[in-house]
Structure 1
Amino acid sequence: MRSSTLYFALAGPIAVRAASGTGQSTRYWDCCKPSCAWNDKAAVSAPALTCDANDNPISDANAVSGCDGGTSYTCSNYSPWAVSDTVAYGFAATALDGGSESTWCCACYALTFTSGSVKGKTMVVQSTNTGSDLGSNHFDLLMPGGGVGIFDGCTSEFGTALAGAQYGGISSQSQCDSFPEILQDGCNWRFDWFGNSDNPGLTFEQVQCPTEITDISGCIRDDDGDYPVFSGAGSSSGSSTSSAVAAASSAKTSSTSSSIKASSTAIVKSEVPSSSSEAEAVGETKASSAQWSKTTVAQTTKTTAQAESHAAQETEASIQTEAPATQTKAATTKKTKAKTRSKAGGCSAKSYTATLAAAGTAVSAASASTSTVAIYQQCNGASDLFPNGALACAEGSTCVYSNDWYSQCQPN
């Protein structure tokens, strides 16, 4: 998909070129440290923040990713959250036509979805990760339960694997109950506000980052003020946020976090250090995550407003995979994560192990590879990604080619 450029007039004589266009989405949550958590990725106030295995902030920019045997993980409050019935905030890994990490790291984009049950809704995301294997104008949305993809940092963080398929993640909302408590709100968000939409299409415009988002990531671009303020009405051309969005957003818990991203939707992010010192320590996996804090007065309290309808079905849950790009992992690349969190305590790996052990065995069995796949799920693929061989579509559907890394079963 080819991006276009919009020009927004400033108070002075300069015009700002805001990235915009038509794009695609996928989902992931791999618990790894994100690419934009490294130093020198872009002109920013500070790299995106990260946490240790107990969800405590890490201030060491050189902390090694948990996906590489280190101690730096995605913070739980990188989970998406609803600002209103039609607006949500969150984080994503991105790849935009004509851009690079220097232009999109910690930049924010207003995504207006054009398909699926989330059609017409808008989500403002901050880019905390990247991936050379992503498609054109691609936003890989961070959401717990979205699947770990090629790189699984969650097992080392929590002591056991998260429920759900490696690609695409869980298939029903009830599976969110087996997740660590700090990830459950973000997991439920997918089935509530997001309507369990499966990789919806979208249009996007670059906007100024809402403070509710940068309070979490701790990362603000030097040029952030050059872009239009998100109006809260599905358009980014307004001069100020709407009162509804401002009111709902101000109640969101201010906390910071970060992570590496490896696509749960089978999108493997390959990262190249941007400085000479980083080059010595080859590339790094990426991941990011966030705690979904609902509107509440207390900074340390989150209320979960979950819809009763469980739209999740295996036909809706995508088990996607994109051919993994060769990814080198850094043992000593620069990454940063200093994060202030309002939530007391962290996610205990021991307590989570006990919880998942009791609830997760049936889930893991259900996510095993099968000989055929349901409508709207991944079909075909390399044998290294599908242990049981290429997957064929179930009766009544056809495997439709999308790109060199991804095909999907669609109704005849």
Structure 2
Amino acid sequence: MYTKIALGLIAAASLTAPTYAASGNGVTTRRLLAVRTCDANNSPLTNVDAKSGCDGGVAYTCTNYSPWAVNDNLAYGFAATAIGGGSESSWCCACYQLTFTSGPVAGKSMIVQSTNTGGDLGNNHFDILMPGGGVGIFDGCRSEFGQSLPGQQYGGVSSRSECDASNMPASLRAGCYWRFDWFKNADNPGVTFKQVACPAALTAISGCKRNDDASFPAPSVA
């Protein structure tokens, strides 16, 4: 759900590294992590080194990291990533255009910004931030919201109606609906991907834009 780990990996600032234009085939799962962080009241923190709420600190994922539909065939969001052939410095805060190749979202595109990494990710793996997707191994949601959230620890909620559960915070419901409305409750669909210049709508939320961002092509979406 809204889990925050490895806070020190990425700061809300500009990053640069040797240009590495990643592309290929990949896999997706779902999780929630972030760059710019908030306190438990969803107020942005100014201290980028604030300790993670998963580890007894005060830093949590801001609720505006939820994915959203731009139109029927395009969505924006955020993801933890592990891209083969590169390194953390080459993919942190980079944006990728994913084209889904399987399941009910086959043919749709999503542009995600990489806001974290994860030791549990495989090669060319995009772990999409998604309310209702399950809190995973690092559950910061209970301390952030003062309650457990609906759904299973791994996999999250199983129906759209669970997004309306009394223990689903109102600020997360739109992102939970997105999972069933735009994403069609797809179960870890495959993707092809390519690195692209980040849309301003994503960097405005994360507070992070790479110095080499302009060297990558604009997204090719309808």
Alignment TM-score > 0.5, same fold = yes
Q: CA deviation at 1:101?
A: 1.2
RMSD: 1.0
2:37–2:48 Cα contact (<8 Å) kept? no
Relative to the length of structure 1, the TM-score reads: 0.48
Alignment of 1:39-54 (within 5 A): 48-54=35-41
What is the alpha-carbon distance in structure 2 between the residues aligned to residue 182 and residue 230 of structure 1?
29
Q: How far apart, CA to CA, are the structure 2 residues paired with 1:18 and 1:231?
A: 15
Note if 1:219 corresponds to 2:222: no
Q: Separation in 2 of the partners of 1:164 and 1:133?
A: 21
Of 138, 145, 151, which residue of structure 1 is paired with 2:125?
138
Q: Distance in 1 between matches of 2:86 and 2:161?
A: 39
Aligned counterpart, 2:75: 88
Deviations 1:83-110 (A, max 9, x none): 0000000000000102221011100000
Quick one: distance in 2 between partners of 1:147 and 1:17?
32
- Unaligned ranges ≥5, structure 1: 1-15, 35-47, 234-412
Read off the aligned partner of 2:89 and give its amino acid letter.
Answer: S
Shift of 1:136: 1.2
Whether 1:181 aligns to 2:170 is yes
Partners of 1:140 and 1:174 in 2: CA distance: 24
Q: Residue type matched to 1:19 in 2?
A: A
DSSP-derived class of the 2:61 partner: coil
Partner of 1:101: 88
Q: CA deviation at 1:132?
A: 2.5
Residues in 1 aligned to 2:47 and 2:217: alpha-carbon distance in whole angstroms:
33
| Aligned equivalents of 1:159, 1:17: Cα separation in 2 | 41
Cα offset, 1:171, TM superposition: 0.4
Decide whether the 8 Å contact of 2:136 with 2:153 is kept in 1. Answer: yes
**For residues 132 and 152 of structure 1, what CA distance do their matches in structure 2 show?**
16
Mapping of residues 277-356 of structure 1, within 5 Å: none
Partner amino acid, structure 2, of 1:52: D
Q: Secondary structure at the match of 2:105?
A: coil
**TM-score (norm: length of structure 2):** 0.89
Q: Which amino acid in 2 is paired with 1:207?
A: V
Work out the CA distance in 1 between the residues paired with 2:178 and 2:107.
17
* Structure with higher RCO (Cα < 8 A, 6+ apart): 2
Query: How far apart are 1:17 and its partner, in Å?
Result: 4.6
Task: Supply the distance in 2 between the matched residues of 1:17 and 1:54 (Cα, whole angstroms).
Answer: 38
Q: Which amino acid aligns with 1:84?
A: N
List gaps (5 residues or longer) in structure 2. Answer: 1-18
Partner of 1:118: 105
Q: Distance in 1 between matches of 2:119 and 2:144?
A: 26
**1:251-262 aligned within 5 A:** none
Count of aligned positions = 202
Structure 1: 4+ residue segments shifted above 2 A? none
Q: Which has the larger radius of gyration?
A: 1
Q: How far has the Cα of 1:170 moved from its partner?
A: 0.6
CA deviation profile, 1:239-261 (whole Å, cap 9, x unmatched): xxxxxxxxxxxxxxxxxxxxxxx
Amino acid at match of 1:164: G
Matched to 2:137, the amino acid is I
Answer yes or no: is 1:166 the counterpart of 2:169. no
Contact persistence 2:52–2:60 (CA under 8 A)? yes
1:195-219 Cα deviation digits (max 9, x unpaired): 0000000000000000000010010
